[in-house]
Structure 1
Amino acid sequence: MRSIFSPHPPLKPLIFPLTRPFMASSVSQVLDPPTSPDDSICSSSPLHHQDAAQPEEDPSSSSAVPSCVSPSPNGYLTGESRAERAWAHWIELGRPKFVVAPMVDNSELPFRMLCRKYGADAAYTPMLHSRIFTENEKYRTQEFTTCKEDRPLFVQFCANDPDTLLEAAGRVQPHCDYVDINFGCPQRIARRGYYGAFLMDNLPLVKSLVEKLAQNHIRVSCKIRIFPKLEDTISYAKMLEEAGCWVLAVHGRTRDEKDGKKFRADWKAIKAVREAVRIPVLANGNIRHMEDVHDCLEETGVEGVLSAETLLENPAVFAGYRTPEWVSAGEEEEKHRDGLLDQADLAVEYLKLCEEYPVPWRMIRSHVHKMLGEWFRVHPHVREDLNSQSKLTFEFLYDMVDRLKKLGGRIPLYVKDADVAKS
């Protein structure tokens, strides 16, 4: 298979690099994980909308296609025109509602394709390090793969240098719908590398990163966390919009609220952001099953909802499936039924996609552990066999799933008719 990238000289401003023809199966065979210490950068933690949640002039109407998107006298689009352009593109993409969030080593191509099969409308890549991406061809070919069916697609970068970010963005722009900047990573490595949520302390730099892409005709989106004070969050969101952001994803926790199980995401803050800006807004946080998805859409008025941790365990969330943990107790149990699908089935589907779209084995190992975690708790000796494998093969993994099924104790995924009807 060929990479979508070809060797070429560094980008010059406003000139995108040439690439080889983009093929549906244009992904690269991956052998060993990258050796850079920045490989495991960090992940953003977890995560068709009602028409009422639109700007004053509803961009979803047929008249919303921006016939008046034209430069102001100084050569730049006005704020109103930028918003119209952003909405026109979002509408052209079908206004995706159910979105796979960016996850380090976990939102790679085969997993994105599995989630798309089960209801996801759009997806983010794992976060890519913009400097390493521009400098290291092996990193590019291993860490970013896609195919023609992998759309709409956000390619996410962390960055703290506008020129480096522009070069990285130019390489992927032909193969995605948005280049996303990660302003939300709260992990220690983001502090050390000076990116993600730690750029919230340097808003002029944040603005310059967004402006650099927007002024060079890159469709830029941003993923952020909220400030402790709502007014600071609103000012932040407006600044990003003014800088040229096309789509804004808001994680409803602060930088210090890293534990998603301990801290609930603030949907009220997300709603306030949605009401304050004129561009499409997405929500991130508190998503465990489809009832949460619908509640979030209704309460915040956003265009779409991101999910991360929940999808890792159950990639079929957006199709209305839920794990036994989220089946209501008591009388409510009668409203749920066996969906005739389980995590072992999903693991096999994922492995087949990995054979079609090769990715590093570290990613495959991680997904198998997440999807089969409940099964491993019942049969810990099978998990121990997996952990003892220094080198994995597809044959071993398929046999392992067969062993789990033969041992019995199937753990089904459940559906609630209302979830399936709404999804």
Structure 2
Amino acid sequence: MFRPPLVTLLRKRCPHCHMNFSSLFSNMAASLSPSGSSDPYDEQDERLCATAGSCSLLTESPSPPLALVVPLLDGKRRVERAWEHWRRLGSPRLIVAPMVDNSELPFRMLCRKYGAEAAYTPMLHSRIFTENEKYRITEFSTCKEDRPLFVQFCANDPYVLLEAAKKVEPYCDYVDINLGCPQRIARRGNYGAFLMDNLPLIKSLVEKLANNLHVPVSCKVRIFPDLKDTLAYTTMLEEAGCALLAVHGRTRDEKDGKKLRADWDAIRAVKNTVSIPVLANGNIRHMDDVQSCLAYTGADGVLSAESLLENPALFTGFRTAEWKDDSDNNSFKDGGLDQADLVEEYLKLCERYPVPWRMVRSHVHKMLGDWFRIHPHVRQELNSQSKLTFEWLYEMVNKLRNLNGSIPLYSKA
């Protein structure tokens, strides 16, 4: 049975890798539990919400990679191949960022319906992915329409990372290395942004993938406090074989994304220094931010995370009430769509593409946050449900509609 104080704690979210603490604890338990101990993936919220249907759980025959990266190319040819691959994918600009527990297949497909042109999987733990079949089945799924796709891993061992990457390369367009998570669990596990203290190890991770995979390797990074260090770092990644960089414009110690603006100047400097595609991450709340970021940084695309969780229709120009007045040149009207509509669409996708209930629960909380602030007793009812069903969730959405009518998303008048 869920106890409200614990629920409140476990649903707090890392603002950088977007992992909620329930998942952090589950993944830690999976990585630390000895053989024969209880399996965290047997818990109710870890079970799939439906029977696997038309999604791939690493069991179907995969489609071949869209491009083959020939190992051991010289630097100039590698850069050419990086751009050839990017253009073959359509040069996507609007991209769903990696979010643990939240950029899973149904949510990616919902965002793609509403304008996303590419997406990342949640961060996957490379060692657990290679060792634990339940983890692979539970945490990774895809389908034919789920492209272009980045599959992201955290790692600190080049050989383990390669073994994990080999399992997913037929299903994706990039294998991505998480070099940006700044949380204490990443410090303890020696991955994410804490590898910035060991650049030779980072270089070996990138080289191992670049020289042994048939899809390109990408890296998601944070910046150093000193711009010169950032530029040296990203240049090293390119020289090691990275074919695409996603740059989060905050340092490892800047852990409050709502209080600390991302440094677009640093992203622009990286774009002007390296020769491979660069994606900008940070401060993307609505489409005006997208256009401003692309124009200012020169980046080839943008990533959005937290704002998409609240508003998966962001990339088609919809915005929440919080941002409807955040424009100098446009007025906004009721767009004829609300977050309850999006929740219902998401639930239908979950019935088609099953994921653990914990992911479903998390998305419902995020998308209906504005409604729950008005009707906290309905949020409490959701928190008290130890066993979710689709029927119960659809009824909960109807209850909110009957109580409140609608809280619209807004579009340009």
> Aligning the two structures, in what range does the TM-score lie when normalised by the shorter sequence?
0.7 to 0.9
The gaps in structure 1 that reach 5 residues or longer are: 1-31, 41-65, 418-423
| TM-score, normalising length: structure 2 | 0.83
Could you report, residue by residue, the CA deviation over 1:241-298 in whole angstroms, capped at 9, with x for unpaired residues? Answer: 0000011000000000010011110001001001101100000000110000000000
Identity of aligned residues (%): 72
Corresponding position of 2:188: 192
| TM-score, normalising length: structure 1 | 0.81
Corresponding position of 1:87: 83
Separation in 2, partners of 1:352, 1:70: 37
Give the superposition deviation at 1:416: 1.6
Given the alignment of the two structures, is residue 393 of structure 1 paired with residue 401 of structure 2, yes or no? no
- SS state of the match for residue 321, structure 1? coil
Give the superposition deviation at 1:408: 2.2
Given the alignment of the two structures, is residue 37 of structure 1 paired with residue 33 of structure 2, yes or no? no
Separation in 2, partners of 1:323, 1:35: 32
Corresponding position of 1:52: none
Q: 1:298 to 1:36 in 2, by over 3 A?
A: closer
Give the superposition deviation at 1:35: 5.1
Give the superposition deviation at 1:39: 6.2
Q: 1:226 to 1:91 in 2, by over 3 A?
A: same
Given the alignment of the two structures, is residue 305 of structure 1 paired with residue 302 of structure 2, yes or no? yes
Give the superposition deviation at 1:302: 0.6
Could you report, residue by residue, the CA deviation over 1:183-240 in whole angstroms, capped at 9, with x for unpaired residues? Answer: 0000110000000000000000000000000111341000000000000000000000
Separation in 1, partners of 2:126, 2:330: 50
Q: Which moved more, 1:210-219 or 1:315-324?
A: 210-219
Given the alignment of the two structures, is residue 343 of structure 1 paired with residue 339 of structure 2, yes or no? yes
Separation in 2, partners of 1:216, 1:205: 17
Q: For 1:253-332, list aligned pairs within 5 A.
A: 253-328=250-325
The code of the aligned residue for 1:111 comes to F
Q: 1:416 to 1:236 in 2, by over 3 A?
A: same
Corresponding position of 1:78: 74
- 95, 105, 108: which one aligns with 1:109: 105
- 217, 221, 227: which one aligns with 1:220: 217
Give the superposition deviation at 1:76: 2.8
The code of the aligned residue for 2:137 comes to T
Retained in 1: the 8 A contact 2:69–2:216?
Answer: no
Retained in 2: the 8 A contact 1:253–1:265?
Answer: yes
Separation in 1, partners of 2:104, 2:308: 13
Separation in 2, partners of 1:103, 1:321: 21
Q: 1:260 to 1:235 in 2, by over 3 A?
A: same
The gaps in structure 2 that reach 5 residues or longer are: 1-22, 32-66
Give the superposition deviation at 1:328: 1.0
Corresponding position of 2:168: 172
- SS state of the match for residue 185, structure 1? coil
- SS state of the match for residue 143, structure 2? coil
The code of the aligned residue for 2:377 comes to H
Given the alignment of the two structures, is residue 229 of structure 1 paired with residue 226 of structure 2, yes or no? yes
Could you report, residue by residue, the CA deviation over 1:124-177 in whole angstroms, capped at 9, with x for unpaired residues? Answer: 000000000000111001100000000000000000000000000000000000
Retained in 1: the 8 A contact 2:95–2:301?
Answer: yes
Separation in 1, partners of 2:321, 2:384: 29
Corresponding position of 1:51: none
Corresponding position of 2:242: 245
Retained in 2: the 8 A contact 1:33–1:362?
Answer: no
Corresponding position of 1:210: 206
- SS state of the match for residue 123, structure 1? strand
Separation in 2, partners of 1:171, 1:210: 17
- 359, 362, 365: which one aligns with 1:363: 359
Separation in 1, partners of 2:26, 2:346: 25
- 333, 349, 355: which one aligns with 1:353: 349
Could you report, residue by residue, the CA deviation over 1:331-372 in whole angstroms, capped at 9, with x for unpaired residues? Answer: 969711111000000000000000000000000000000000
- For the aligned residue pairs, the C-alpha RMSD in angstroms reads 2.2
- 404, 407, 411: which one aligns with 2:403: 407
Q: 1:204 to 1:388 in 2, by over 3 A?
A: same
Runs of at least 4 residues off by over 2 Å: 32-36, 331-334
Q: For 1:142-153, list aligned pairs within 5 A.
A: 142-153=138-149
Separation in 2, partners of 1:214, 1:339: 45
- SS state of the match for residue 322, structure 1? coil
- 130, 133, 137: which one aligns with 1:134: 130
Could you report, residue by residue, the CA deviation over 1:98-138 in whole angstroms, capped at 9, with x for unpaired residues? Answer: 00000010000000000000000000000000000000111
